[in-house]
Structure 1
Amino acid sequence: MPEPTKGRVVGLQERPLGRTTLRTYRTKADIDDIIPNDRQPRLGPKEDEELQRQIDDNEGLFEPLLVEPHPEISGKFRIIDGERRWANSRVLVGQGKSQYRQVPIEVTDRTLSEEDRLRVWIYIHRQRKEWDAKEKEMVAYRLIQLVGRASAANMLGITFKELDKLTEVFELSERFKGLKDDAASLTWARELLGVSKKLLTPSVIDAVVDKVARKRITNSKDLRKLRSILPDPVASSHFMTRDGDLESAMLRLRAAPQQKVKVGLVDDLDTVVESVKNVPWATLSELKNDPEFLKKIDEATKLLSSLRTTLSS
């Protein structure tokens, strides 16, 4: 069976993408005739086992790669959008699955300018759910490297202040290592930067990064407790020690009157104990399959453990 002719135009169509309208045609190309763009906005690893499984299950790519005629290599195409799909198809081909060697592509009728190429990529990715989850900060940071601060703000349609905020989040996220999900580091950074700038000194940031790496803090939303801890000298000082954590620091917040807190805490614990004693075992048996209830049990256990440690010290 003869291979498809490279670059054969089978009918041009107009594809409006924001302020840029492309004229494209669809065909297929050998995976080795497609070359990634080294000035692509997306950073980080491209290989993804889940995406490879999806490609394999669908017996190929459902959505063609958007490519342009390579400006320097005749007969080759350069990727505008779809580098992850290309990279993971290439992995499958490397595993001996040659049926994925021919890749569906949508080809522009010309090589784009860098500004048009970036605008098209941004427009496409803004339509996807990943944009708010993990891409906008990364893209802002990368665009500044590629085209400078003024052009980056213009392409994203945001102010310099908004651009600086996005890059600040991305730079901080790069310090959170060892998390299961790439997007999680951005979530941690966003939460931490929600704390007042006056309180968020470099040493506090260092302490948080260290405690997250050592699993002393495991939920990014718990960082909101720093808004109460950091203004308090005693609680803040304790948190900054190597063994301090959010829960034990919260226990050191100044309280007035102390005796009222003590009595109230004892009464609350008595209430919890009596409540547990009075729950029928049949009901408890049903709750063992309730993930939200089990999560609350774990949180309570952790808090009580920190309380016991504090009282023993």
Structure 2
Amino acid sequence: MNSPSQAKDRDNVVVNLQERRLDRTVLRTYRTKADIDAIVPNEKQPRLGPKIDEELQRQIEANGGLFEPLLVEPHPDFPGKYRIIDGDRRWTNSRVLVEQGKKEFRQLPIEVTDRTLSDEDRLRAWIYIHRQRKEWDAKEKEMVAYRLVDLMGRASAANILGITVRDLDKLVDIFELSEKFTSLRDPSAAITWAREMMGVSKKLLTPSIVEAVVKKVNDRRITNSKELRKLRAILPDPVARANFLSDGGDLDSAMLRLAPQEKKPRGGLSDDLEAAVEAMKSVPWTTLQGLKGDPELLKRIEAAEELLRSLKKAIT
């Protein structure tokens, strides 16, 4: 049940309820302020990892408080308190400032829903909000997919994200792989490394290959994630692959052991004609202007036209 203070709060603002549409979820909310201790984090927060951010703390101080209110709901278990739907990082870093003795940050602006949401609606709202932010593509979709599977199972997670189960599994695989890159200077870059690696054919990414790549990255013998694209050429070649898997092997040494590519045999007259057409297409317009009226060139073009007509007649 809701506490008398919550009921009174809503009674005072019921005429000011506004609709907030978040994809398929429509929330009715009102704005107010609450003490930081009256706000409780969501135990099913989709975001993983550390939330303390010194840069965010500086922004809060520079603005004299939070610029964007926390989105919260009436807490179903603690009367008089609110549970965070979106804004866990802002709440966490405001609390850090309060614990440093900066009491002016105790009162936080909040946007309150008129009801406690279901788990699915709460997650849908959070995901919709975060998809609008730049950071979603940078690092969050794989992390959230992994967390949703843990919270709700694969089918429900895929439904909430609006993707197929197969696409969901890809995101989860990328996140699980990213967790193995433990020695990067920027831990958030692990997703980029994992994405590059998963761009290689899954048939080629055997456990031994994955283990070798992770070890060489963590040992900083591979320092640029885009270098992993070389694996697409290395792994199908048995000699190059064996070199890469060896203790002393790396991407560059493996590339040196690739078997030379056989030149594609020419296809006869058809390829010759295609090469001639491409050569003519590549002549700059300015060069053509300089050749305008050239009698020798015109004579050769006429001869070529006659030859092409004869050729066409012969094969028609």
TM-score (norm 1): 0.77
Q: CA deviation at 1:226?
A: 0.7
Q: CA deviation at 1:215?
A: 0.5
Residue 177 (structure 2) aligned to one of 154, 172, 180: 172
Distance 1:155 1:199 in 2: 31
Alignment of 1:44-55 (within 5 A): 44-55=49-60
Q: CA deviation at 1:256?
A: 7.0
Give the secondary structure class of the aligned counterpart of 1:79: strand
Identity %: 72
Residue 232 (structure 1) aligned to one of 233, 237, 244: 237
Give the secondary structure class of the aligned counterpart of 2:91: helix
Distance 1:243 1:62 in 2: 53
Give the secondary structure class of the aligned counterpart of 2:202: coil
Structure 1 residue aligned with 2:282? none
Q: CA deviation at 1:236?
A: 1.4
Distance 1:49 1:68 in 2: 27
Q: CA deviation at 1:125?
A: 0.8
Structure 2 residue aligned with 1:117? 122
Q: Whose radius of gyration is greater, 1 or 2?
A: 2
Structure 2 residue aligned with 1:8? 9
Q: After superposition, what is the alpha-carbon deviation per residue over 1:161-189, rounded to whole angstroms, capped at 9, x for unaligned?
A: 11111111111111111323343111111
RMSD: 1.6
Q: Do residues 223 (structure 1) and 224 (structure 2) align?
A: no
Residue 210 (structure 2) aligned to one of 205, 214, 226: 205
TM-score (norm 2): 0.77
Structure 2 residue aligned with 1:306? none
Q: Do residues 72 (structure 1) and 73 (structure 2) align?
A: no
Q: Do residues 35 (structure 1) and 36 (structure 2) align?
A: no
Structure 1 residue aligned with 2:142? 137
Quick check: 2:72–2:86 contact (8 Å CA) kept in 1? yes
The residue type paired with residue 68 of structure 1 is: E
The gaps in structure 2 that reach 5 residues or longer are 263-316
The residue type paired with residue 240 of structure 2 is: A
Q: CA deviation at 1:141?
A: 1.1
Q: After superposition, what is the alpha-carbon deviation per residue over 1:166-219, rounded to whole angstroms, capped at 9, x for unaligned?
A: 111111111111323343111111111111122111001001101111110011
Q: Do residues 93 (structure 1) and 94 (structure 2) align?
A: no
How many residues align structurally? Answer: 253
Give the secondary structure class of the aligned counterpart of 2:76: coil
The gaps in structure 1 that reach 5 residues or longer are 258-313
The residue type paired with residue 99 of structure 2 is: G
Q: Do residues 81 (structure 1) and 86 (structure 2) align?
A: yes
